[in-house]
């Protein structure tokens, strides 16, 4: 886990130097720390979301997507405790009251945060300190560093937010029932949180080298999946050749074609994107 105390020490020492230069570096350290916090929580959720599923890379967007698709508690504060009473067979606790009657010891606490607020601060740091402002006219002065007071106040705001993470000593990938299946091509087990799956959702294999993706269908409280493929008959043996749809979606006009062999007769296939006139 990120050592927040050491991050805060670095930022505070730059802040106390108080120069334009040190405050700019403090702003950069703040921004990097926000990214670290968000990406660390993304990383632990990679069992339930794939890198290929990510729509944007900015920390706020990443965490919002993780909350929607992989772990709704990604930014929540909670403590996990374990009961000191072993459950004996036949007399397991059944009701909420049964569980509440047991004694517990805490294992750890996840520090929560306001996704929107941290995202706004990440943007603001860049606006006040991490760009040279674009001159609008010939007489404008170009300055390396931003306004010292604005930078300082943003750094102080971030420090206050980061202090909230000091009591957190664990992060989790979330709770709840899973829907899982094996990828057709690479055999990796793909797991998703059942309550976060949506009808019509497309999910990608979590293996970075695998091109498979799947359509999700929800009926009642059950989930189903189907492989996303593009199908074309082989010119030689006429058997149906299935190509992962993601490979076809990556094709660009005028760029390298997709080369593969028919699985039945090994005849090479050449798939490329060609503009065609659509008759309506």
The encoded tokens of residue 73 equal 């508690």
Complex with Zn ion: residue 126 or 232, whichever CB lies closer: 232
Q: How far is the CB of 237 from Zn ion (least distance, A)?
A: 3
Question: Distance between alpha carbon 122 and the CA centroid of its chain, in Å?
Answer: 17
Complex with Zn ion: residue 149 or 236, whichever CB lies closer: 236
Binding of residue 107 to Zn ion (CB under 5 A): no
Of 153-161, 165-173, 203-211, 252-260, which segment contacts Zn ion by CB under 5 A?
Answer: 203-211
Residues 129 and 52: their CA atoms lie apart, in Å, by 32
Q: Hey, which residues between 177 and 196 contact Zn ion (CB under 5 A)?
A: 183, 185-186, 188
DSSP string, 32-90: HHHHHHHHHHHHHTTTTS-GGG-S--SHHHHHHHHHHHT-TTTT--EEEEEESSPPPTT
Binding mask 209-238 for Zn ion (x = CB under 5 A): -x-x---------------------x-xx-
Binding of residue 265 to Zn ion (CB under 5 A): yes
Sole binder of Zn ion in the list 120, 267, 268, 272 (CB under 5 A): 267
Alpha-carbon torsion 68, 48, 179, 219, what sign? positive
Q: How far is the CB of 269 from Zn ion (least distance, A)?
A: 8
Strands 222-227 and 229-233: unpaired
Residues contributing to the site for Zn ion (CB under 5 A): 183, 185-186, 188, 205, 207, 210, 212, 234, 236-237, 262, 264-265, 267
């Amino acid at each position: 886990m990120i050592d927040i105390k050491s991050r805060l020490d670095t930022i505070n020492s730059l802040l106390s130097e108080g120069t334009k230069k040190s405050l700019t570096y403090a702003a950069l350290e703040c921004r990097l720390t926000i990214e670290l916090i968000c990406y660390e929580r993304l990383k632990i959720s990679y069992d339930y979301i794939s890198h290929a599923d990510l729509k944007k890379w900015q920390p706020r967007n990443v965490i919002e997507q993780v909350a929607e698709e992989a772990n709704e508690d990604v930014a929540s504060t909670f403590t996990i405790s374990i009961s000191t009473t072993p459950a004996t067979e036949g007399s397991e606790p059944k009701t909420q009251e049964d569980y509440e009657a047991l004694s517990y010891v805490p294992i750890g606490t996840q520090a929560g945060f306001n996704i929107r607020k941290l995202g706004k601060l990440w943007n603001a740091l860049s606006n006040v300190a991490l760009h040279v402002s674009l001159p609008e006219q010939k007489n404008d002065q170009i300055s390396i560093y931003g306004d010292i007071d604005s930078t300082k106040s943003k750094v102080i705001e971030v420090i206050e937010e980061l202090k909230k993470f000091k009591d957190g000593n664990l992060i989790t990938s979330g709770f709840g029932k899973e829907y899982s299946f094996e990828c057709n091509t690479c055999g990796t087990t793909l797991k998703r949180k059942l309550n976060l799956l949506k009808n019509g959702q497309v999910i990608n294999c979590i293996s970075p080298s695998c091109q498979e993706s799947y359509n999700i269908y929800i009926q009642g409280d059950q989930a189903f999946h189907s492989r996303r493929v593009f199908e074309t008959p082989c010119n030689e043996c006429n058997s149906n050749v299935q190509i992962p749809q993601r490979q076809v979606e990556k094709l660009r006009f005028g760029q390298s074609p997709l080369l593969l062999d028919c699985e039945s007769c090994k005849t090479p296939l050449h798939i490329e994107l060609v503009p065609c006139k659509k008759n309506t």
